[in-house]
Amino acid sequence: MTDHAYPPNLSAYLGHFPELGKDVYVHPTAQVMGDVVLGNDVSVWPGTVIRGDVNSIRIGEGSNIQDLCMLHVSHKSSWDPGGSPLLIGRCVTVGHQVILHGCTIGDECLIGMGSIVMDKVKIEPRVLVGAGSLVPEGRVLESGYLYLGRPVRRVRELTAQELEHFMYSAQHYIRLKESWRQN
């Protein structure tokens, strides 16, 4: 099938066309291109760019990528045969204006507004990255903690309420995208 059979904000690159799961919402002003797979109930909000041109991007079920985010990857090379794909787990909330580049984010995380997460970072499940944080290349953020700063540092353990909020946030965005899909 050719590009013209798809919405103009979804585009192929080198034979890879974005794959969308069931009940996905991609706002008309967002751009999704190349080797990208969006799981069921994913939402992608206005002005976001998800560019899977030189490596793959996978976003897990129930995750939301909020307004003006930039998601990209690093290419494969002789010095880095795998490059840096971008892997986002299930029920992840990615706040407004976040940059994610070639990193791995576990299930039920929240990446605060304006944060930058660089290549080869591994964020374990159930981590809160505070707004405006910078996670330098190659760092590992351990499950169950709040991380904050530029560069990011571990601040404290998460409370039970904060841990519950991860799923609340994901479910809220699933409900919100459904109202937009019906609009």
Mean local confidence (pLDDT), 65-83: 96
Per-residue confidence (pLDDT) for residue 183, from 0 to 100: 85
List the domains of the chain with CATH numbers.
3-176 (2.160.10.10)
Per-residue confidence (pLDDT) for residue 5, from 0 to 100: 62
State the Cα–Cα distance between residues 113 and 12, nearest whole angstrom.
29
What pTM did the predictor assign? Answer: 0.95
Across the beta sheet with 110-111, what order do the strands follow?
25-26, 43-44, 64-65, 93-94, 110-111, 128-129, 145-149, 152-157
